[in-house]
Structure 1
Amino acid sequence: MLLAGFGFARVWLTVWLACAWSSEAREQETVPPAAPTVSSPRPSRFGNRCDVTATVTATTACRTCPLNAEVECPKGSTKTTQGEGLRDCQYRIPVFGSWGIVLTGCHHVCARQVLQPQCCPGYWGPDCQECPGGADNPCSGHGACAGGIQGNGTCTCEGGFGGVACETCKSDKLYGPECSGECTCVHGICKSGLEGDGSCSCLSGYSGEHCDQPLPQCDALDCNQFGRCVEPAEGEELVCRCLPGYHGDGKNSCLPIDPCLEAVCAPQADCIHTGPNQHRCECRPSYSGDGRVCLPIDPCQTNFGGCPTNSTVCVYDAPGKVYTRGVDPASVGKIGQAPVQALAAPDS
């Protein structure tokens, strides 16, 4: 009697599995689909954009191999596998509640062409703005620009270079075309910067290459309060000359130099006179930078300019100004987005 009961149960389970095997609705994938892969980029120049057309692949759901032979890829995709497809996945047939049977199955690989937005070299952000220093010479050739659609246009300067576009030395103590020289003036002012040679202009009462040799005879010269006592050359008579930042004869007159009378700032910046031969450059509204380099602010580059991404497009109009343009919500996200999950087979 017990053996007969086991025999009946075995027959019932066999019949049930046969029905479940042919039921497409009960098949479920148990292995995550393969991540999409991108290959064969082909650039297409449009303005500052260099979009690429790429092949993106994904897989259909895992199922019994005999039934998988009839599965087609979604519209717009091409099936790259033949016959029953690849036999390298598993699917689960539920039996009792949470219990189930895991079986080896097949799936197909589907491929489609997508357009991936990319900025051309030397441009950054959703609107592909020029990197500081210009697209042809990003970061003045002395650094790397965080370019690309996801970049923020920031320059990472090399060695001793600094500034928004790596256009100057990062310290007043550095000089030379590579900003590799270091000033050694003890009691003087160094000629620093890219155009500097590291030479010292000694303060009153000192001489020497490094302005480290005192001149006690200077007390009798009575130079201007903004002047200094210097020795033009070793052994020559001491004379009065104006301090750096002033101009005049050094004894009777020393007037402050206003660097803002010259074009020392970017065209989009204001020059503020802060002292004798000293100034500060400040970019005007709608521009950002250090005053020597001022870049137009494009609000669309950050958070799409506050525009609703599902109904409008942010369009750059002028520095600090944008306008919105309506779009078809059904088209949002269709370009440049690769699938991140398995492609479902079309309904039969």
Structure 2
Amino acid sequence: CRLGPSGTSSVCDCQATAEGQWSGLVCMMCAAGFAGPDCSLQCPPDCSGHGSCSEGLSGNGRCQCDWGYGGERCEKECPGGVTLPCGGRGTCLADATCQCLQSENTGYWDGVDCLICAPGYSGDQCLDRCPVGPLGKPCAGYGLCSNGAC
């Protein structure tokens, strides 16, 4: 940096280097739109209006999507929409697919939008286990399970 009056440091004129884009008073911060310990990761030009880039020295240069969106640039809406992604019974993953909840506390959910019971379960909350036959199939493979019964 150039020195200012009385030997005090002045504002740095940060330059792009082979390693990355720098900014800040002493050129120790990433410039806007850049990330990583060496500021070499460039953020996408936008995150489709549904997220923001993880910038700065601790950032990864990727879009961090808003609730209900996924995809590399947050361009995909999660199944179930933004008001109730994954039917409220799952988590929308970074690729805009659902990981359905499956536990005794939440029920055993399945499907693209987590709105059906996982195989072997039924009932309003998908907590009723279907009877399993000798071949390990629900209802011995000869019927449908409804509310925990064949």
- For normalisation by structure 1, the TM-score amounts to 0.24
1:123 counterpart = 2:69: yes
Following superposition, the deviation at residue 137 of structure 1 comes to: 0.9
How do residues 171-250 of structure 1 correspond to structure 2 at under 5 angstroms?
171=119, 173-184=120-131, 189-192=143-146, 197-200=147-150
Which residue does 1:270 correspond to in 2? Answer: none
Cα deviations across residues 194-236 of structure 1 (Å, max 9, x unaligned)? Answer: xxx2233xxxxxxxxxxxxxxxxxxxxxxxxxxxxxxxxxxxx
Pairwise CA RMSD: 3.5
- How many residue pairs match? The answer is 99
Query: Are the counterparts in 2 of residues 131 and 139 from structure 1 also a CA contact under 8 Å?
Result: yes
1:133 counterpart = 2:80: yes
Following superposition, the deviation at residue 170 of structure 1 comes to: 1.8
| Higher RCO, 1 vs 2 (CA within 8 Å, ≥6 residues apart) | 1
Which residue does 1:163 correspond to in 2? Answer: 111
Q: Secondary structure at the match of 1:139?
A: helix
Following superposition, the deviation at residue 112 of structure 1 comes to: 7.0
- For normalisation by structure 2, the TM-score amounts to 0.50
Q: Which amino acid aligns with 2:86?
A: C
Q: Secondary structure at the match of 2:91?
A: strand
Cα deviations across residues 124-146 of structure 1 (Å, max 9, x unaligned)? Answer: 11252210111111111111111
Following superposition, the deviation at residue 109 of structure 1 comes to: 4.6
Q: Which amino acid aligns with 1:198?
A: G
Distance in structure 1 (CA, Å) of the matches to 2:13 and 2:92: 41
Q: Which amino acid aligns with 2:14?
A: P
Which has the higher Rg, Structure 1 or Structure 2? 1
Distance in structure 2 (CA, Å) of the matches to 1:155 and 1:127: 15
Greater share of helix: 1
Following superposition, the deviation at residue 110 of structure 1 comes to: 4.8
Q: Secondary structure at the match of 2:13?
A: coil
| Identical-residue share of aligned pairs (%) | 30
Q: Which amino acid aligns with 2:148?
A: G
Distance in structure 2 (CA, Å) of the matches to 1:185 and 1:109: 66
Alpha carbons of structure 1 residues 123 and 71: separation in structure 2 relative to 1, 3 Å: closer
Query: Are the counterparts in 2 of residues 182 and 198 from structure 1 also a CA contact under 8 Å?
Result: yes
Alpha carbons of structure 1 residues 70 and 142: separation in structure 2 relative to 1, 3 Å: closer
Cα deviations across residues 173-193 of structure 1 (Å, max 9, x unaligned)? Answer: 31112211112276763443x
Following superposition, the deviation at residue 71 of structure 1 comes to: 7.0
Q: Which amino acid aligns with 1:180?
A: L
Structure 1 alignment gaps of length 5 or more: 1-59, 61-66, 80-107, 201-348
Structure 2 alignment gaps of length 5 or more: 2-6, 16-21, 34-45, 52-64, 103-107, 134-139
> Runs of 4 or more off by more than 3 Å in structure 1?
67-71, 75-78, 109-113, 185-188
